Structure 1
């Protein structure tokens, strides 16, 4: 299986790379800096230099992938923001979150989804339950919530344009990453293993779906 992991320098993205390589899959993995790229190459992945928040960088992804057919593409890149609705967000914070979490994904879709279609594959975006509009009871991570809700809409809206691919968003759960903190109930390894099982089991009916790491489908967004 040919797998692309966008945002693989650490955390969930890095673990996706490790697990797919361990299963014998061919993995193309992106990162921003030379150290991370070297480390990914040492694992056995094909490294690609990419900064999803830099339009000049992300706009060149297509030619870097020229000739590829992708059974699975994963958009894992993302940043978290603090703060709630009692204070307006700083413009730099807002721009960073929206460029990384939303614009980067929207730039990647037209370049990557045709390669996924060529393989009849899946293009899955790591989102967050914090991006659900249903059942919101606080504004913590206000900008992050907005960015993930926007990502969800971008993916769902794109699905009809790529009928030979399955596009979906997936919630990794509360994970022990730099973002989730050490007190989170899920290890990175367990979260990724669960998401991989869910992704492997995705059917045509899951096109445009919002899935939990454990396979549960969120019916309300």
Structure 2
């Protein structure tokens, strides 16, 4: 689906802050309708004030909440042109000696299982693909690249992102017959709450770059691109 993304319906999951909120702002600024999934919509007052934004509650760690969210999206629109799976967590910043099973499960539940459940529920609700294509873009991290791991550590976060990468690859195969494109986006090292304000680029630059990838006409199906257009090795 190359070309400027405008006049579309975009679902942004994890849209209340950081990268997600910036996705909402930039998609609206480009003339799109945005349905933003948030844990606590009542606290997303800035986004609610934007013309073209509708908020829907979702906790992607709860299958029941995800099903209710998909039903809400279905009531708001018959078709989503783009779905941005952005919700994610880092978890405790511990190394090999301190990582626990709970650390691993916490990261996996949100980062790997959550995007799968969201995509499954939206597909079941009938708002993905069909006569019109849907691009499902999952925001992952280069830290989930086996090839790129030269420093070790970050077991839970790395493993959960590697897991969602393979989830996306399977989605790209299984949903292709339904006119869906499943792709991965790496936002870069972004200055957000998750990074404690550290980073190399700001959220505006990161999101503009990722939207640019979606608009560029490069092959998206089953692919993995960084915000600057570079292909990330698996």
Fold shared per TM-score above 0.5? yes
Deviation, 1:84, is 1.9
8 Å CA contact retained: 1:2, 1:25 = yes
Q: Which moved more, 1:80-89 or 1:125-134?
A: 80-89
Aligned partner of 2:62 among 46, 54, 65: 54
Structure 2 CA distance for aligned equivalents of residues 202 and 169 of structure 1: 15
| 84 and 111 in structure 1: CA distance in 2 versus 1, 3 angstrom threshold | same
Structure 1 CA distance for aligned equivalents of residues 208 and 193 of structure 2: 19
Aligned partner of 1:115 among 118, 124, 127: 127
Aligned partner of 1:154 among 167, 179, 192: 167
Aligned counterpart, 1:4: 11
Deviating above 3 A after TM superposition, structure 1's stretches of 4 or more consecutive aligned residues are: none
Deviation, 1:140, is 3.0
Deviation, 1:56, is 1.5
Aligned counterpart, 1:76: 86
Aligned partner of 2:203 among 175, 188, 212: 188
Deviation, 1:39, is 3.4
8 Å CA contact retained: 1:37, 1:49 = no
How many residues get paired?
Answer: 218
| 34 and 196 in structure 1: CA distance in 2 versus 1, 3 angstrom threshold | closer
8 Å CA contact retained: 1:52, 1:100 = yes
Deviation, 1:94, is 2.4
Deviation, 1:88, is 3.3
Structure 2 CA distance for aligned equivalents of residues 207 and 12 of structure 1: 22
CA RMSD across the alignment:
1.6
**SS of equivalent residue, structure 2 residue 200:** coil
8 Å CA contact retained: 2:24, 2:34 = yes
**SS of equivalent residue, structure 1 residue 86:** coil
Q: Which moved more, 1:79-88 or 1:158-167?
A: 79-88
Aligned counterpart, 1:23: 30
Structure 2 CA distance for aligned equivalents of residues 183 and 60 of structure 1: 35
Structure 2 CA distance for aligned equivalents of residues 88 and 17 of structure 1: 34
Aligned partner of 2:158 among 134, 142, 145: 145
**SS of equivalent residue, structure 1 residue 116:** coil
Q: Which moved more, 1:62-71 or 1:157-166?
A: 62-71
8 Å CA contact retained: 1:37, 1:48 = no
8 Å CA contact retained: 1:167, 1:208 = yes
**SS of equivalent residue, structure 2 residue 128:** helix
